[in-house]
């Protein structure tokens, strides 16, 4: 279920000390969210628990980013990235997200865990125009071919800076 609200373009900016935290079950259904999550999404626990995270999906985010997120998690690895999220009042907020699979001591998947922190301006400046180009390519290609159309744009941008995806994300957030 996605928000039906029209984006207003009004941004909420995370504070240095903020952590937006959520946990899900193995199907990606939200089972926990903290107060800061509720503040930024403008939703209460009742509206968030039991939903997928696409409840805060912003229509300007390219599909390929979420494909990368899920592929990374399904391979048992951590995903890091810059994500623009939609709030229930139509506002938006950028996050630097770390998403991890949680497993028990036998390696069985228990669920997923995400902690978002204030993103760097450098990260938003680099990814925002790239996401816009990726989205345009996805919309021109149509839903079925969207990811194949936009992934080369991401790879090309990474080739230009001679970095892998994680390397570029970390360089923009931490240097």
For binding to ligand FMN (CB under 6 A), which residues are involved?
24, 28, 52-54, 56-57, 61, 66, 69, 83, 85, 97, 99, 112, 114
Q: How would you classify residue 112: left for phi > 0, otherwise alpha for psi between -120 and 50, otherwise beta?
A: beta
| Minimum distance of ligand FMN from residue 151's CB (angstroms) | 15
Judged by beta carbon, residue 99 or residue 149, the one nearer ligand FMN is: 99
| Minimum distance of ligand FMN from residue 116's CB (angstroms) | 7
What is the C-alpha to C-alpha distance for residues 134 and 24, in angstroms, rounded to an integer? 28
| Minimum distance of ligand FMN from residue 102's CB (angstroms) | 10
Judged by beta carbon, residue 97 or residue 153, the one nearer ligand FMN is: 97
| Minimum distance of ligand FMN from residue 106's CB (angstroms) | 21
Tokens read off for 111? 């669920």
How is the beta sheet containing 20-24 ordered, strand by strand?
A: 30-33, 20-24, 109-117, 92-103, 79-86
Instruction: Report the run of H or E that residue 114 belongs to, with start and end.
Output: strand 109-117
Judged by beta carbon, residue 48 or residue 99, the one nearer ligand FMN is: 99
Residue at token pair 């995903």: 79
Judged by beta carbon, residue 52 or residue 80, the one nearer ligand FMN is: 52
Burial (CB count within 10 angstroms: exposed 0-12, middle 13-18, buried 19+), residue 46: exposed
Judged by beta carbon, residue 10 or residue 161, the one nearer ligand FMN is: 10
| Minimum distance of ligand FMN from residue 147's CB (angstroms) | 10
Tokens read off for 4? 């039906």
């Amino acid at each position: 279920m996605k928000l039906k609200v029209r984006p207003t373009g009004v941004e909420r900016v995370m504070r240095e000390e903020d952590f937006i935290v959520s946990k899900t079950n193995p199907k990606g259904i939200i089972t926990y969210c903290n107060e800061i999550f509720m503040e930024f999404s403008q939703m209460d626990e009742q509206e968030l628990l039991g939903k997928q995270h696409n409840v805060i999906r912003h229509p300007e985010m390219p599909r390929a980013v979420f494909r990368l997120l899920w592929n990374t998690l399904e391979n048992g690895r951590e995903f890091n990235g810059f994500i623009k999220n939609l709030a229930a009042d139509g506002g938006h907020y950028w996050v630097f997200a770390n998403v991890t699979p949680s497993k028990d001591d036998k390696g069985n998947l228990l669920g997923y865990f995400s902690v978002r922190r204030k993103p760097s301006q450098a990260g938003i400046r680099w990814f925002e125009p790239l996401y816009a180009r990726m989205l345009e390519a996805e919309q021109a290609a149509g839903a079925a071919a969207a990811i194949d159309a936009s992934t080369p744009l991401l790879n090309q941008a990474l080739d230009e800076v001679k970095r892998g995806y994680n390397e570029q994300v970390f360089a923009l957030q931490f240097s």
